[in-house]
Amino acid sequence: MAGPELTDPRASRITAARRLVKRAFRARGRQFLAEGPQAVGEALASPGVVQEMFATSPAAERYTEVTATAARSGIPVRLVSGEVFDSLAQTVTPQGIIAVCRFVDVPYSHVVASKPHLVAVLAQVRDPGNAGTVLRCADAAGAEAVVFTDASVDVYNSKCVRASAGSLFHLPVTVGVPAPAAVSALREQGLTVLAADGAGELDLDMAAERGLLGGPTAWIFGNEAWGLPPATRELADAVVRVPVYGRAESLNLATAAAVCLYASANAQRAPGGCRTSATEEAPE
């Protein structure tokens, strides 16, 4: 642990960290806060991401693996009082550990050059909880990248970071890309671009039957309240809706994204899908 317990919320290190609650300060320093043992632990697994940690004494004793990993990496772990930690925390029930991390987004050119099989594009998604959950779903479904267009929420918003449950540190994320440029570059790499929209002309089952899901695919997900604007819908090769068999009016954004991404993930791994080996022998 670095130095004695900090008890003054106005201490310079605390003030500098607390500023990262605001987007302007995050952007200026290209730093953000990751809160809780899971998020901090996942950040520590990416070398060079965590730059400083703060923990209460009880949390440091409870999450010894996290603090020990930081110490082995030469990352300062500063003990703070409960009052000081509360001035940094963005959760209702803080777990007593928080890290200052550097930005992890990558240039969009890196995403395109990697020739991904599955990409989630968030177009004008404004709710940080939804955005973080979609990021988590994309990670779980095996997507190779998530794109936040220039009109979407800040991926480093504390609620978005928490909702990603560590997935922010698992796969490439790119930010600030205009939707037309994002779609054009992915299509040039051979990806089929599908827009998820409740008013789509195809439902997901029809898209699967027509073979639209088994190849490299980019899914565009729109705003929670008004969906995809016409100009964004027109960028897609097809507009697809998730079928609703019961009486629910619709699915929320994160749930619909999970259904769509997993439909593609399954189709890509089925015989003839883009993730199956062309040289693999069929079973007798």
Q: Which conformational region is residue 94 in: left (phi greater than 0), alpha (psi within -120 to 50 degrees), or beta?
A: beta
Domains and CATH numbers, the chain: 12-102 (3.30.1330.30), 108-269 (3.40.1280.10)
| Residue for token pair 């995050």 | 26
How high is the pLDDT of residue 3? 66
How high is the pLDDT of residue 283? 41
Q: Averaged over 133-155, what is the pLDDT?
A: 96
The predicted-structure confidence for 83-114, as pLDDT tens digits, reads as follows: 999 999 999 899 999 999 999 999 999 999 99
Q: Averaged over 168-184, what is the pLDDT?
A: 95
Task: List the 77-79 sheet strands across, edge first.
Answer: 31-35, 97-102, 50-55, 77-79
User: Nearest Cα to 207, choosing from 261, 253, 136?
Assistant: 261
Upper half-sphere CA count for residue 166 (Cβ side, 13 Å): 12
What does the alpha-carbon distance between residue 157 and residue 75 come to, in Å, rounded to a whole number?
Answer: 23
Backbone φ, ψ for residue 193 (5° rounding): -105, 115
How high is the pLDDT of residue 1? 62
Question: How high does pLDDT run on average in the chain?
Answer: 93
Q: Is the pLDDT of residue 79 over 70?
A: yes
Backbone φ, ψ for residue 33 (5° rounding): -105, 135
The pairing of strands 97-102 and 50-55 is: antiparallel
Its pTM surpasses 0.85? yes
Q: Averaged over 252-270, what is the pLDDT?
A: 96
110: how many CB neighbours lie within 10 A of its CB?
12
> Over pLDDT 90: what percentage of the chain?
86
Q: Is the pLDDT of residue 213 over 50?
A: yes
Q: Does residue 225 contact residue 276 with C-beta atoms inside 8 Å?
A: no
Q: Is the pLDDT of residue 258 over 60?
A: yes
pLDDT grade for 2, boundaries at 50, 70 and 90? low
**What DSSP state is assigned to residue 57?**
H
